[in-house]
Amino acid sequence: MISRLQHARLAYQPKLPAVFREHGAGAASRDGDVHAPAHDGERIRGFFPNVYRLPMVSFDDDVCAPPVTQDPICVGVIFSGGQAPGGHNVVAGLVDGLKSLHPDNRLIGFLGGPGGLLRNDVVELTPEHIGPYRNTGGFDLIRSDRTKLESEEQFEAVRKHCNARGISALVIIGGDDSNTNACYLAEYFIRSNAGIQVIGCPKTIDGDLKNEWIESSFGFDTACKVYSELVGNIYRDALSAGKYWHFIRIMGRSASHIALECALQTHPNITLISEEVAHDNLTLLDITDRIAAVICERAAAGRNYGLLLVPEGLIEFIPEMRVLISELNDLLANDASLQRTLASAPDEAALTACGLTAASAAAYKSLPAEIRSQLVMDRDPHGNVQVSKIETEKLLIRKVAERLRERRAAGEYLGAFSAQNHFFGYEGRCAAPSNFDADYCYSLGYTGAALIGAGKTGCIAAIRNLHKPAEDWQPFGVPVTSMMNIERRGGKEKPVIKKALVDLHQPPFCELAAHRAEWAVADEFVSPGPIQYFGPGTITDLPPLTLLLEKGVSINGDIG
């Protein structure tokens, strides 16, 4: 059963770049330069001798060339990893683009992500099948999983399944790791003459798959707009009630892009940015001191309320916590039975007896019981701390309350501190895409079809000029190797797509840094409200503010 809004949205025709609108996915492709990665070029070439020498691909507005393949083809597609709004539109754009190349082209979806690719579990994705999923959220059309495609045995299994089905191209919709593995797969297929192209597509709400070529990963805009709606509503509640501090943890484990975007949209009193905490080497005590200082300043102005945003991954960026988590992971990997001993250790001596260093024992002991338990008892299948399940917002509330008691005892604080905690993540991952994401995803899918039509492989579908109207968007393909560097992973040096952290010197963070002192004390909040699909284009089609800032577009004064 579908809602009235979903029914209306089925009729929405996503906007395409002019080149595709005019020529379909058969628009003439143009090979550009070969772009070496910024670092480690020779070593990366060693891993990917074939993909490495591939050029950038753009599509030409002026010429209409026939597609490279004149015979009908069959293409496979998977979602890989966590959900992001707009995934269904990538598939819709892909199928429509393929049909624009040849009406008999076919699209096969592998069910359940990379795992389904290995199990050879498929469904044919006809336009009729995809119809009810257009402009909807979620990945439920073909689902996803977190299986990592990285071994030659897996690659060979994929080759066999694709060859047997006559699949000559595979589109992998995933984040940085999935696209890195897509590159290995492309290289393997070239080397083994498999006759299968591999095209990646940049997905992640976290926004950390972003670089010189990729302006934004899809889903980021919608997720941030959902979270900002909620943050704006809660700030207005804080202001209306005048008695609560709301501490809101928000998705984004490795990078704080979501927290930053939501902060720019809503102007919280305090926004923690993990990258800044790491850069400034701030301890938990430093952080809680700074928070307490703002709370005291607001209390002195009669404002015993406020709002703090904290990224999900913060705890791993606090130096002493990062060390503690790493020590706990090592200890428990060796001896899982230590879980209960650590959980019930009465003092620091007992903790060091388990193998923690004195510093980590002290750090552990300084945490509230609930957080200690989350650190040692909630482990993932590999025995690691589940950072995303640690209620950092509650940890901060407890530690800040301690600081405030000290300040009160010292006569520095006369206010009242009552806090509410929140976590926003699952609320936004499967929201129906905003117009920006609906258009962007559909165009990405179409770009994937065009790259396939042009016979390309080993590249990611990308779009430039996302800050402009969709007709001015420039679709292109970029070989995955161009965005790689070498990192140490699991004890080995590996070529991987570099994750984009928040850059403390770039405009989005600078915008926050320039205003946060003012937002801390005054009530300068903004309430963006829910995503709108009808009405003025300035509301429905607004791109993420971080994207606008990165493109040099001012976001001041353009509101209201």
User: Which position among 96, 176, 177, 206 bears the catalytic label?
Assistant: 206
Shortest Å, Cβ 11 to a copy of itself:
11
Is 114 a binding residue for a copy of itself by CB under 8 A? The answer is: no
- 529 close to 225: Cβ distance less than 8 angstroms: no
Is 12 a binding residue for a copy of itself by CB under 8 A? The answer is: no
Binding mask 259-298 for a copy of itself (x = CB under 8 A): ------x-x-------------------------------
Residue 374 burial (C-beta neighbours within 10 Å; 0-12, 13-18, 19+): buried
Which one among 242, 281, 503, 506 touches a copy of itself, defined by CB under 8 A? 242
The contacts of residue 389 (CB under 8 Å, 6+ apart) are: 374, 378
Which one among 50, 329, 420, 474 touches a copy of itself, defined by CB under 8 A? 420
Backbone φ and ψ of 488, nearest 5°: -85, 120
Is 407 a binding residue for a copy of itself by CB under 8 A? The answer is: no
**How far separated are the first and last CA of the chain, in Å rounded?**
38
**Whether 289 is catalytic:** no
For the chain, percent helix, then strand, then coil, each to nearest 5? 50, 15, 40
- 417 close to 292: Cβ distance less than 8 angstroms: no
Total number of residues that touch a copy of itself (CB under 8 A): 64
Is 44 a binding residue for a copy of itself by CB under 8 A? The answer is: no
Nearer to a copy of itself, 206 or 275 (CB): 206
- 158 close to 185: Cβ distance less than 8 angstroms: yes
Neighbours of 240 (CB within 10 A): 9
Is 125 a binding residue for a copy of itself by CB under 8 A? The answer is: no
Binding mask 128-147 for a copy of itself (x = CB under 8 A): --------xxxxx--xx---
Which one among 106, 407, 429, 456 touches a copy of itself, defined by CB under 8 A? 429
Q: Kind and range of the H or E element at 442?
A: helix 435-453
Which one among 338, 401, 521, 526 touches a copy of itself, defined by CB under 8 A? 526
Is 173 a binding residue for a copy of itself by CB under 8 A? The answer is: no
Nearest to 310 by CA among 249, 368, 263: 249
Is 61 a binding residue for a copy of itself by CB under 8 A? The answer is: no
Nearer to a copy of itself, 87 or 207 (CB): 87
Is 109 a binding residue for a copy of itself by CB under 8 A? The answer is: no
- 213 close to 359: Cβ distance less than 8 angstroms: no
Residue 102 burial (C-beta neighbours within 10 Å; 0-12, 13-18, 19+): middle
**Rounded Cα gap, residues 392 and 385, in angstroms:** 13
Hey, which residues are catalytic here?
A: 206
Contact residues for a copy of itself, defined by CB under 8 A: 1-9, 82-83, 112, 136-140, 143-144, 226, 229-230, 232-234, 236-237, 239-242, 244, 246, 265, 267, 370, 420, 422-423, 426-432, 524-536, 538-539, 542, 559-560
